[in-house]
Each structure stands twice: as structure tokens, then as C-alpha cells.
């Protein structure tokens, strides 16, 4: 007979969800978790991309750039109907 391991307690669900202007939490990993992102040139490219984002309706908030992945908060402008 095998003993069951205790489960980690999950986070509570959000009480409020902002549907009109959501902020997304994005995680992206490199292929095979290769350490390709730990270079100043990559960080500069991310900053340049973020600075250009508002012109395209995308806003980069706080982020963490790790050697093999990125965590970021991203918001998008609402799509305006004609």
C-alpha cells in the first residue's frame, strides 16, 4: 500500500475579474529550455519591443527575464468596432 503525498494548497480564485481591460500573465520558454535569454542584447531587444508596443496596442508591464524563460504582465488595447 502506498501512502498519498499531501497536496499543495491551491491559490484562491480571484474575486474580481476585469473583462473589459484584462491584464494577462504570460510565460514563454525557450526551445528545450536553452539558456538563450541571459544576454544584455536580448534584454535591450525586449525593452525596444516594449517601447514600440503601444503603437500597436500592446503594453508590457512588469516582467522577469530569466536565462531560459520570460514572465510578463501584458495588456492590450480594446478592439474598437467601426
Against a cut of 0.85, is the pTM above it? no
**Amino acid 11: pLDDT:** 76
pLDDT range class, residue 10, cuts 50, 70, 90: confident
Residue 67 has a CB neighbour count (10 Å cut-off) of 13
Judged against a pLDDT cut of 50, whether residue 59 lies above it is answered with yes
Distance between CA atoms of residues 38 and 70, nearest Å = 11
d(CA 23, CA 64): 16
Q: How far is CA 43 from the centre of its chain?
A: 15
For residues 44-50, give the mean pLDDT.
96
Query: Residue 33: is its pLDDT beyond 60?
Result: yes
Whether pLDDT at 79 is above 70: no
For the cut 80, the answer to whether the pLDDT of residue 14 exceeds it is: no
Q: Give the DSSP H or E segment for 41.
A: helix 40-52
Q: What is the Cα–Cα distance from 2 to 23, expressed in whole angstroms?
A: 43
Amino acid at each position: 500500500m502506498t501512502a498519498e503525498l499531501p497536496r499543495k494548497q491551491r491559490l484562491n480564485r480571484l474575486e474580481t475579474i476585469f473583462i473589459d481591460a484584462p491584464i494577462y500573465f504570460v510565460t514563454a520558454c525557450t526551445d528545450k529550455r536553452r539558456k538563450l535569454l541571459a544576454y544584455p542584447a536580448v534584454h535591450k531587444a525586449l525593452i525596444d519591443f516594449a517601447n514600440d508596443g503601444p503603437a500597436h496596442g500592446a503594453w508590457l508591464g512588469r516582467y522577469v527575464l530569466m536565462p531560459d524563460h520570460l514572465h510578463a504582465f501584458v495588456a492590450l488595447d480594446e478592439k474598437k468596432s467601426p
